[in-house]
Amino acid sequence: MINHPASIFKIYPIPAFRDNYIWAIVNINTHYTTIIDPGEAQPVMDFIEKHKLALEAILVTHHHPDHIGGINALVKKYHPKVFAPISNYIPHADYRLTNDDTITLNNTECHFQIMSIPGHTLDHIAYYSKPWLFCGDTLFSAGCGRIFEGTPEQMYSSLQKIAALPPETQIFCAHEYTLANLKFAQIIESNNIELNNYRKNVKMLSKNKQTTLPSTLALEKKINPFLRVDQPTVKLSAEQYCKQVLHNETEVFATIREWKNKF
Ligand SMILES: [Zn+2]
């Protein structure tokens, strides 16, 4: 894994739909870009034209339409390489990726390691290039994705896999859900000072229409209830909600995920 001298890269959030981010990694020396999860094409085309870039690759985390909807139009216009998980629902891909695969993008000058992280969908993968993690709809700041296809066990184990990365890992998730997630997180852990401080910062950023991302793994471990199910406070809140004793971390996780669905 190469280190990234900060001067060579810029990573931009391209807003799409209501609250999606399509991430763009730009190599400012080569003027090549790699795009993650283009749910729609037009905002990406506008970005590419504005910054006068060449599109080397598209990386896809999972099959949902708000992550793949722009692929065909971008391929037609710019002919990038498309990397995607093994999935029947993603019609166009040049390379199909699975856990522990690595990819090298010569013009953007990036290497990625693939992590299989099922739960939100069964095909979900993340792209890790130290210190960046592009994790789609699995981990959000102060929250996590809904479990549409997998089991709570799978989702929890995927989050634990992410949690095992270095604390300085930057979390590039695909939605601006932070403020809404924090509202729920505060109900779970009302006395968490770090959480309360973070919410103040996020409120300010949101008020000024600024992105709250990327987050860091170190911060998420302090404030994200879905990464804190081993904490007595989180377990107690979950037990009070479901009115029964929970026996392990997966049960606590499944309970607060279910609670958040109805929140
Ligand atoms: Zn999704």
Residue 75 lies in a domain: yes
Q: What is the whole-number distance in angstroms between the Cα of residue 245 and the centre of ligand 1? A: 31
Under the banding of pLDDT at 50, 70 and 90, the label for residue 5 is low
Mean pLDDT of 206-224: 96
Catalytic residue from among 37, 63, 67, 123? 67
Please name the helix (run of DSSP H) or strand (run of DSSP E) that holds residue 186, with its range, or none.
Answer: helix 178-188
Q: Report the C-alpha gap between 95 and 207 in whole angstroms.
A: 40
Within a 13 Å sphere around the CA of 196, how many CA atoms are in the beta-carbon half?
5
Nearest to 199 by CA among 179, 220, 170: 179
Q: How far is the centre of ligand 1, averaged over its atoms, from the C-alpha of 139 (Å)?
A: 11
- Ligand 1 center to 23 CA (angstroms): 15
Q: Region 194-209: what's the mean pLDDT? A: 96
- Overall pTM surpassing 0.85 (yes/no): yes
**Does residue 2 fall inside a structural domain?**
no
Average pLDDT, stretch 174-197? Answer: 97
What's the pLDDT at 1?
A: 40
- 43: domain CATH number is 3.60.15.10
| Rounded Cα gap, residues 40 and 70, in angstroms | 4
Catalytic residue among 62, 63, 123, 124: 62
Q: Would you call 92 a catalytic residue per the annotation?
A: no
Q: Find the 120 Cα to ligand 1 centroid distance in Å.
A: 7
Q: What is the mean pLDDT of residues 215-239?
A: 98
Q: Name the residue range of residue 120's domain.
A: 9-262
Q: For position 77, what pLDDT does the model report?
A: 98
In the prediction, which pLDDT does 18 show? 93
Q: What is the pLDDT of residues 15-60, one digit of tens each?
A: 999 999 999 999 999 999 999 999 999 999 999 999 999 999 999 9
Q: What is the mean pLDDT of residues 211-224?
A: 98
Mean pLDDT of 197-221: 96
Judge whether 177 lies within some domain.
yes
Query: What CA–CA distances, in Å, run from 199 to 167, 189, 211, 224, 261?
Result: 20, 12, 13, 12, 21
Among residues 37, 63, 66, 123, the one annotated as catalytic is 66
Cα 191 to ligand 1 centre (Å): 31
Flag whether 4 is in a domain.
no
Classify burial at 44, counting beta carbons within 10 Å of its beta carbon; exposed 0-12, middle 13-18, buried 19 or more: buried
Q: What is the pLDDT of residues 240-259, one digit of tens each?
A: 999 999 999 999 999 999 99
**Domain for residue 3, yes or no?**
no
Residue 176: its pLDDT value, please?
96
Q: Does the pLDDT at position 2 exceed 80?
A: no
Ligand 1 centre distance from Cα of residue 232 (Å): 30
Tell me how many domains the chain contains: 1
User: Residue 8: pLDDT above 70?
Assistant: yes
Q: Is 175 a catalytic residue?
A: yes
The answer as to whether 223 is a domain residue is yes
Residue 143 has pLDDT above 80, yes or no: yes
Q: What is the mean pLDDT of the chain?
A: 96
Residue 1 falls within a domain, yes or no? no
Position 156 in a domain = yes
Ligand 1 centroid to residue 33 C-alpha, Å = 23
Mean pLDDT of 133-159: 98
First to last CA, the chain: 40
Extended beta strands in the chain, E state: 9-16, 20-27, 32-36, 54-59, 81-85, 95-97, 102-105, 110-116, 125-129, 132-136, 139-140, 143-144, 170-173, 215-216
Q: Place 92 in a pLDDT band, splitting at 50, 70 and 90.
A: confident
User: Residues 37, 63, 124, 137: which is the catalytic one?
Assistant: 137
